[in-house]
Every structure is written in C-alpha cells, then in structure tokens.
Amino acid sequence: MTLLAGAAVLGATVTVVVVNRETTAPPVAAAPVAAEVTLETSLWKSRKVKAAVQDEHTPLELGTRFKAARDGEVAGMRFYKPAAERGTHRGSLWSSDRKLLAKVSFTAETKSGWQQAMFDRPVPIVAGRVYTVSYHTTNGGYVASPGVFDEPVVSGPLTAQAGVFAPSAKAAFPSRVHHRRVSYWVDVIFRHRERHYPRPSDSPAPGDPSVSPTSSPEGSASPTVSETPTGGVTTTPTADGSPSPSSSPTRSHTSDASESPTASGTPKPSGSPTPKASPSATPRPSLSPDPTRQPTREPSATPKPTQTTTPPPAGGFPGAGDTGVPSGVSLKDSKSITVTKDGTVIDGMEVKGEINVEADDVTIRNTRVAAAPGDWGIIQRNGHSGLTVEDTEVFGDGKQRTQFGILNQGGDLTVRRVDIHTISNGILTEQGLIEDSYIHDPKYYSGDHTDMIMCTSGPPSGAKLVIRGNTVVNTLEQTGAVALFQDFGVVRNVTVEGNFLAGGGYTVYGGAGSKGTSSNIKVVGNVFSKDVWAKGGYNGPVAYWDKDGSGNEWKNNVWEDGKTVPEGG
C-alpha cells in the first residue's frame, strides 16, 4: 500500500437544542425551563491521518465496528471517498448478529471527500451493544489508514472498535479485521437525548417569570414602565441595570461542510456561497453575503448588527424594508419585560433584553428587541395563548448566543411582518400563523443546530401551523430554513405555502421521523433558491418527506428559474 501526503479527514459533532413543553405555566421565580437536548455525534472529528488510497478492482464491503455509551438512534452514515473511486454505493447498519437494520443508497455524490446519506427512519440502538456501519463498493476503490485502531477511538458517547471488511459481490456483513488495524473511514451519525437546565435551581434564569425588585439595585436607577403596556408588565434589571445573560450549553463542533481535505493536508474553504446571476431580465441583488449593506431604516440609539444579506428578489417576497419597525415610529427604551395581564399591548418599545409573556391575548407591535445573550428574545409561556407579534424586529448581538428569536411554549401564536436575524434559531412553535416575515442570517455558536422556523411535533388536536408568504434564508450549512421534526410527536397539519426558501443543510425538513408517518403536511407554491448553496440546501432542497402520508401534498414548488423542485428533492 502506498501512503499519500497527510490528508485532513474532518468529521462533525453538532447539537440540536429544543425546549420541552410543560403542561402548566411555571410559577413566579420557578425553576428554569428544562430543555431537551438532542446531541448528534460522529466519530471522526478533525483528525489528520496518513491516508493510503487502494484500488483493488473487486467488490468490497467496508465498515466500522462501534458501540454507544447511551441509548439513542442512528440517523444516517458517511464514508470518505477517494478521487479515483467510481460507481454507486449502498450504506448499511448491522447488528452484532449480522442482522441488517437499515440501508440507504448514496446519491449526488461528490468526486471525493465525505459522502453522507440519511436513513429513511432513524434506527434505535441500545447502549453497550456492538453495531457495524458499512458501505459497498463494486469498483474497489477506498481510503485506508493503518494503525488508527491500535487503541479504540472515542468520540463523545461513541467508541469505534475496529475497521472491518468483506470481499463480496453485493452488500454483506463485514467481519474481517486487517492485522494492521486499518480504518476505512466509515462514519455513523448518532443522536441521543439529555435534559438540560439553563441555570442552577437557586439562581433564576432571566427568561423565567420574575417580579420587579422592591428597591433599586445598587448603582442603578429604578426601572420605569412604559404607559403603553399597562398593568401586568414588569421590567427585570440586574445589578448593573441590564438583563443578565442566561447560561446555555456549550458543546464542541467542527463542521466538515466548511472545510474539505486536500492532498497536501491543508484544508481549503468550500462552504462559501458563490453569487449567481439571476435568470430574470430584471436585475436584483443576490442573497450572498454583503458586509457593506446597511439597514434601510434609521438606526435608533441601540446598536444594531449589520444584516449580512441583501433583500430577496422582487415579486412580493418580504425583506428588511417591509418587515420590522416601520420607518418614523418613535421607540421608548425599556429593559426586559414580563407581561402578566391578559390583553396587554406593547407598542413602540426598544427592549434591551427579552419579553416574557405569561398572559393570554398579548400583542407586541412596532417594537425592537435587542435580545440579551441567553435563551430567547420573546417567549410565550406554557399555559398561555393568543400572542401576536407584528411589525417587530428581534436580533442578538452577534457575539454571544441568543438561542431563539421567538419561542412559543404555549398555544396559538401569530407572527406577521417580523424581522428576525443574528440568532441561532428564528422561531420555534408547534401551532399558529407565521406570515409576511423575514427570517434570516443565523449565527453559529458551538453546539448549535440552526433553524429559521422549527416545529418539533404536530400541533394539538384541532390546531394547525401555517407558514405563508415569508422570506426564510439560512446562510449556514445546517440545519434548515423550515424544519419539521418529530422530537416530541408525529408532525401533522402544517402548511408551508408561497415562501421564498434558501440555505441550510436541507432547506426543508418535511416531517418524517421515527414516531410515525406525518399527515396533512402541505408544501405548496414555494420558491427555492440556489443563491446560498448550489443544491438549495448544502445537501439538497428537502429531506425527511413522507410522500405517502395521508393528506401530504408537495405541489408547485419551483426553483427561481421556474424549474420544478421534485417531491422529496
């Protein structure tokens, strides 16, 4: 075997953070909201190796034997492909007794580097049991690295025990181990859950319900409440008069989408979107980053991060000029606000912190929320419903994580003409209406998955979620622009209609999952853009779509040039 120059083989460990719903509203100064944290881990994290490319011209099954320290599920797999390899590849997951648990065909492969495919449904696995993930090559070209398994390879809860192979004309369980303890660079995408509490129980998080202090903190003036949001509103300063940041989980992350191995071992960027010319005769700005762009409205006294994308194409899609606070509206400064009176209206406020809604039928309009580092800009708490947010802007400072622009733990939610940016996740809700809004430019922080609009289970019986007429742009390579996940239940009764959608790992996650077949999911009349990634999303326009789910409909979805985006991508 001939060793090549050192090639940087990169993997990834990423994290999805979603918030568990409680059945009742938390009491005043209650314990922090518990979060259900889903960790997604792979084996090979930023590992430089001496890689030898083999070309045996014979069919082979190549894999990795591994186990997990926690119960979880295998969502997909990856393998590292040399430039000389040709042909199609099929991936498999096996139990220790050689039973085939899942299979997948790799599509849209690149010429070389990491290839990834997701199983139709994640496969549950049991802590401590041994499994094998493998792929089949008919051509016999592969990358092998001796000595990698001189010791077990540990990555988070995963332990890789050995590289395995089998000569076989078709997919078959690989059991043979090379005497030089070779790795064939076959990887697993593993997910498991943890409970997370943002702060210790004796230190209430700023996002939790709170009461105004009875006396002014030392060195700061007593906060005043705007006359617009009447009774039931409190402001919550800290000792220095500003909202205190909430702690949030910090986890390592290295994304293999942002760097690709080269023969010299020097990673080169591959994740920067290339500006594309519009096929239309009407000139329009690109969605690719433009650091010189300034906000279209007059800035207020509060520093505002420069938005990093130009407006979306003409044709009725919203942008910075027709979302957020209208030009000419005067804003009154406020620190964090907690609302406890039904029917409260917050109008014309400049909130430096967060808005906690612990009441029904609250309206927030003509307001800018410069969210403090922490868990959210606006939250509707468990047990409450009817929140309307319109003509409002929510953003983080771009330096420390604001995890959600708007987080809905309660019932019905209406979001209209809202500009959300510079956060990890735009809106998380299971029900309501999101329309005519501009949700864009997330910021990545260690451990994040980033989604602009996210639903983690189906709406309650009789409710629905409608996402209509928005511009939703995820300029990162993970996770989605619109993401329908089955973290807490089967997704149903969601309409995604008439939006401009771009970016993410996949632009749309369509609601399929391990808890059952999604139903009444309608993705209709949307425009998918390739201005962030050449495939729409980094990996493609859509994943996890139940095409046979009752009432599911994929219709009239097109690229910007008018070509059809096929069902399931």
pLDDT number for residue 423: 94
Q: pLDDT band for 501, please (50, 70, 90 cuts).
A: very high
Task: Specify the amino acid at residue 63.
Answer: G
Residue 320, classed as helix, strand or coil, is helix
pLDDT number for residue 156: 81
- Kindly state the average pLDDT of the residues 85-91: 92
pLDDT digits (tens, 9 = 90+) for 208-235: 333 333 333 333 333 333 333 445 665 5
Q: pLDDT band for 48, please (50, 70, 90 cuts).
A: low
Q: pLDDT band for 372, please (50, 70, 90 cuts).
A: confident
Q: What's the CA gap between 83 and 141, in Å, rounded?
A: 9
pLDDT number for residue 524: 96
Q: What's the CA gap between 255 and 234, in Å, rounded?
A: 42
- What tokens were used for 544? 């996890």
Tell me the whole-structure pTM to 2 decimals: 0.52
Q: What's the CA gap between 2 and 103, in Å, rounded?
A: 32
Cβ-in-10-Å burial (0-12, 13-18, 19+) of 438 comes to buried
Count of CB atoms within 10 A of residue 306's CB?
13
Task: Specify the amino acid at residue 2.
Answer: T
Q: Name the average pLDDT for the chain.
A: 76
Task: Specify the amino acid at residue 282.
Answer: T
Give the CATH architecture of domain 7-194.
Answer: Sandwich (2.60)
Cis ω before 110 (30° cut-off from 0): no
- Kindly state the average pLDDT of the residues 55-74: 90
What are the C-alpha distances in Å from 291 to residues 308, 310, 320?
Answer: 5, 9, 15
User: Strand 47-49 vs strand 7-9: parallel, antiparallel, or unpaired?
Assistant: antiparallel
Domain range list for the chain: 7-194, 232-244+326-413, 424-569
